[in-house]
Structure 1
Amino acid sequence: MSEAPENGSPRPARTGTLSDHVYEKIVAAIADGTYPLGSKLPTEYAMCDEFGVSRPVLRQALRQLREDDVIHSRQGSGSYVKRRPDHAILTFAPVGSIADIQRTFEFRAAIEGEAAYLAAERRTAKDLEEIRDAVAELDRCIRENELGVDADEVLHSAICQASDNQYFVAARQSMRENILAGMNLTRNLSLTKTRQRLDLVQAEHYAILDAIERQDREGARKAMRAHVENARRRVFEGD
């Protein structure tokens, strides 16, 4: 299975649901300022006409945008732009993949959170060494301004392996291409921000490592879920 490109080059378009395509068109319109921050979105009727879709399809796209905290609704008034994603998201995200990436983060929070919980209980000395080495490699990537997708993937894979449950490993492997696409996007976006963004992400990795070292199962689960959910939110952070 192919990996996400380290240089951020977009992939060919993916096949998604019609609501996913509408979702991404709205994200693009918000990112490029067509729908400014704080502005009210057009009426459902107008947007259905603009995108050539039915109201159920549009409403599904709007629901996803609300879940991703990009828009919010005011009862009886309509939907408003709550966050303006960095325009770079349109450069780094594989074409047609933004909705898919966000749903992949939901999958990862569930699977990897539980894997971290078990890793804290079952990890061997060798497992712990591999996790530490992966975190150290990410430190090097940050110092040398490298993207670090491969090192990030090695870290998360090592934690799943340390769970000593092949089903967590298999479930994550089945989504590997999607996961790499998400990592490629979030790490590229982080490189466009200040050094503090990368340091914040790395601090989250250290929190996971610390909990696994101390065999704090609940702490490892919470740290991993927080890290993955924060990554999902960071996709739509603006400047």
Structure 2
Amino acid sequence: MATAKRQIVDASATSTRRPGRLLRDGTLPDRAYERILAMIADGAIAVGDKMPSEHELCGELEVSRPVLRQALKQLRADDVIVSRQGSGSYVVRRPERAILDFAPVGSVADIQRTFEFRAAVEGEAAYLAALRRTEQDMLRLKATLQELDRRIEAGELGVDADEDFHVAVCEASDNCYFTIARTSMKANILTGMNLTRNLSLTKPRERLALVQKEHYAIFDAIRDKDPAAARNAMRSHVENARKRVFEGKTTAG
């Protein structure tokens, strides 16, 4: 048991001190969340393993029980761990290890919440865009997709072009509050986009092509004035991005 605990501490400490990561202030629960996520991503706590007791984790992470429970609550919401009555909590998913390389320290929990925000807000924006879009809107959306095609062909990340597409969808909704709400979260959104597109380059390049296929599905639904399909395509696109990052899936996003 002592050896296992030592391995858990070492994995967590290494992950939160990785050179080159940007420092960012975070709440205590967010930092506890990230350290536990690092243990799981590094394999110190494997899929199928029972989580250490709250008493052990509080001691290792040097946090109070309320702080730890908030972190564990977020991990359950993210489908990384599950609680089994009378037995404890178990790891059910191992997120991409690279998120701890690319994401600023203390931001992982915020990135997860940002994906939830985007799925809700951008899904409704796409719904209204399909009802209200103009020919000028379609020309702009097509231009952003063509630029993304060019970036993929050149082997570039294309984060700014990706952002341009999503902004264009919001503006095509003809409701400025979607754009305003999204702008208020722009820093977090760009961090998430940088993360997902960087992760795509750590795997076969075809992943970015799959992402682009989802963009075209959104475009097609808006062009065809099919609001339900546009909403579903956008929500699916954002959710797939979250899954690839936090659940190690190979779906597009």
TM over 0.5: yes
Q: Secondary structure at the match of 2:160?
A: helix
- Output the amino acid matched with 1:44: E
Residue 85 of structure 1: CA displacement?
Answer: 2.0
- Output the amino acid matched with 1:86: E
Compute the RMSD of aligned alpha carbons. Answer: 1.6
The answer to whether the 8 A contact 1:10-1:93 is kept is: no
What's the counterpart of residue 184 of structure 1? Answer: 194
Say if 2:209 is the partner of 1:204.
Answer: no
Residue 10 of structure 1: CA displacement?
Answer: 5.7
Report which stretch shifted further, 183-192 or 28-37.
28-37
Cα distance in structure 1, aligned partners of 2:90 and 2:123:
33
2:118 to 108, 114, 118: 108
1:225 to 235, 243, 246: 235
What's the counterpart of residue 205 of structure 2? Answer: 195
The answer to whether the 8 A contact 1:13-1:97 is kept is: no
2:160 to 150, 163, 167: 150
Report which stretch shifted further, 55-64 or 206-215.
55-64
Cα distance in structure 2, aligned partners of 1:236 and 1:54:
25
- Output the amino acid matched with 1:229: E
2:175 to 158, 165, 170: 165
Residue 11 of structure 1: CA displacement?
Answer: 5.9
Matches within 5 A, 1:16-35: 16-35=26-45
- Structure 1 residue runs without a partner (length 5+): 1-8
Residue 37 of structure 1: CA displacement?
Answer: 2.3
Cα distance in structure 2, aligned partners of 1:80 and 1:237:
15
1:165-203 CA-partner distances (Å, limit 9, x unpaired): 111111111111110000000110111112342222222
Q: Secondary structure at the match of 1:16?
A: coil
What's the counterpart of residue 6 of structure 1? Answer: none
Residue 55 of structure 1: CA displacement?
Answer: 1.8
What's the counterpart of residue 109 of structure 2? Answer: 99
The answer to whether the 8 A contact 2:21-2:102 is kept is: no
The answer to whether the 8 A contact 1:10-1:95 is kept is: no
Cα distance in structure 1, aligned partners of 2:160 and 2:91:
34
Say if 2:41 is the partner of 1:48.
Answer: no
1:37 to 44, 47, 50: 47
State percent identity of aligned pairs: 67
| Count of residue correspondences | 231
Cα distance in structure 1, aligned partners of 2:152 and 2:102:
19
1:52-109 CA-partner distances (Å, limit 9, x unpaired): 2222221111111112121222221111221222221111112211100111111111
**RCO comparison, higher one (Cα < 8 Å, 6+):** 1
Residue 50 of structure 1: CA displacement?
Answer: 1.2
1:144-170 CA-partner distances (Å, limit 9, x unpaired): 211110110000000011111111111
The answer to whether the 8 A contact 1:10-1:94 is kept is: no
Report which stretch shifted further, 30-39 or 206-215.
30-39
Q: Secondary structure at the match of 2:45?
A: coil
Cα distance in structure 2, aligned partners of 1:32 and 1:63:
20
Q: Secondary structure at the match of 2:90?
A: strand
Report which stretch shifted further, 107-116 or 52-61.
52-61
- Output the amino acid matched with 1:152: D
TM-score normalised by the chain length of structure 1: 0.91
Cα distance in structure 1, aligned partners of 2:134 and 2:31:
45
Q: Secondary structure at the match of 1:235?
A: helix
Cα distance in structure 2, aligned partners of 1:12 and 1:191:
20
TM-score normalised by the chain length of structure 2: 0.86
Q: Secondary structure at the match of 1:72?
A: strand
Residue 45 of structure 1: CA displacement?
Answer: 1.1
1:121-149 CA-partner distances (Å, limit 9, x unpaired): 11111111111111122222222211110
